[in-house]
Amino acid sequence: MTGFLPWWATALALGTLTVGYWLSVRRPLGVSGVLARFTRVGEELDFDRGVAAVNDGDQAALEEELLALTREAFGHVGDDRAEAAQAVPVAAAPGGLAPTGVMEPATPATAAGRSCAPVPPLGAHLTFLATLVAGGALVALARGSWGAGLGPDFTALVAAGPASLGVLAGGGLLVGFGTSLCGGCSAGHGLTGTGRLMPGSLLSTGAFFAAAVATTLLLAWRVG
C-alpha cells in the first residue's frame, strides 16, 4: 500500500499537533476520555452546568447541580442543604471535581507557566469528535477511497463477513474498557503523556504496545 505520509511527515504532524493542542486548547490532547464522556451524557451536562454556575458565581445553581451529581454518583442523598453546602468548597474550584477524571487543582495563571484550562463543555467535545470523523472523510474523498472495507489483510488474518463485526465489537470493548482503566489512549498516554515522561504514560504505552505486538504476531501465526 502506498499513498500514506512518509514516516518523517507523520512524526512532524503528530508531534506538532500534540504540542500545539496544549498550547492552544490548554488541555492535554486525548481522545478516549472525550469519547467516554458520551457514555454518561446526563451527568456530564450536570457537570457543565456546575462549571458554568461557578463561572457565573451563581451559588444556588451550583448547589443544585452539585446535589444532582452527588445523587448520580452515590445513589440517594438526603436533600439536606447543609450537606450540599458542605460539599461546595470542594467543587467551587474551577475544574474541581470533574466527573471525567482527576481532581484538578484550580490553577491560576502564575509566573511559573500556563495553567490548565477547565474541561470544555460537552458540546465543544462533540465538535471535536465530529470534526475527527470529518477529517477522515476529507482524506478518503480526496483519495477516492471512500466506503472501502477494512481491507484484505483484515479479512485474511481476522475474519470475514458478519463474524468480523463480532470481532470488531469485542475488540472495541477491550479498547473502551482498557483505555478507561489505564486512563488514556495512544493520544493521551502515547503522545502527550510519553512526550512529558509521565510514569503512568510510559508504563501504559510500553504495556499496550507489547500487548498489540503479541496479539499481532499471534494473528499472523494462527493463519500461518
Partner 1 sequence: MNGALRRHLLMGAAGLALGVTVSAAGLSDWGEVHRMFSLGLGGGAPGRESLRLLLGFGGAVLLAMAGFRLLARHDQIPVKPIRAGTISGALLFGAGWALTGACPAAALVQLGEGKAAALATLAGILAGAWLHEKARRRFHWSRHSCVD
Q: What residues numbered 149-188 form the site for partner 1, per CB under 8 A?
A: 149-154, 157-158, 164-188
Cα 114 from Cα 109, distance rounded (Å) = 6
One residue of 64, 88, 92, 101 binding partner 1 per CB under 8 A: 101
Cα 211 from Cα 175, distance rounded (Å) = 12
One residue of 80, 83, 136, 163 binding partner 1 per CB under 8 A: 136
Neighbours of 37 (CB within 10 A): 22
Q: Give which of 133, 125, 130, 109 is closest to 47, Cα–Cα.
A: 125
Nearer to partner 1, 3 or 82 (CB): 3
One residue of 28, 46, 53, 69 binding partner 1 per CB under 8 A: 28
Neighbours of 71 (CB within 10 A): 15
Neighbours of 109 (CB within 10 A): 8
Nearer to partner 1, 82 or 147 (CB): 147
Q: Does 129 bind partner 1 (CB under 8 A)?
A: yes
Whole-number minimum distance, CB 207 to partner 1, in Å?
4
Q: Give which of 45, 44, 33 is closest to 181, Cα–Cα.
A: 33
Whole-number minimum distance, CB 121 to partner 1, in Å?
7
Q: Does 45 bind partner 1 (CB under 8 A)?
A: no
Nearer to partner 1, 63 or 186 (CB): 186
Q: Does 195 bind partner 1 (CB under 8 A)?
A: yes
Residues 6+ apart with CB under 8 A from 215: none
Q: Does 70 bind partner 1 (CB under 8 A)?
A: no
Q: Does 42 bind partner 1 (CB under 8 A)?
A: no
Evaluate whether 70 touches 77 at the Cβ level (below 8 Å).
yes
DSSP 11: H
- CA distances to 16, 155, 215, 219 from 224, rounded to whole Å, are 39, 14, 14, 9
Q: Which stretch binds partner 1 (CB under 8 A): 63-71, 76-84, 85-93, 201-209?
A: 201-209
How many amino acids of this chain bind partner 1 (CB under 8 A)?
136
Contacts (CB under 8 A) with partner 1, residues 3-22: 4-19, 21-22
Backbone φ and ψ of 214, nearest 5°: -60, -45
Nearer to partner 1, 85 or 207 (CB): 207
Whole-number minimum distance, CB 164 to partner 1, in Å?
6
Whole-number minimum distance, CB 81 to partner 1, in Å?
25
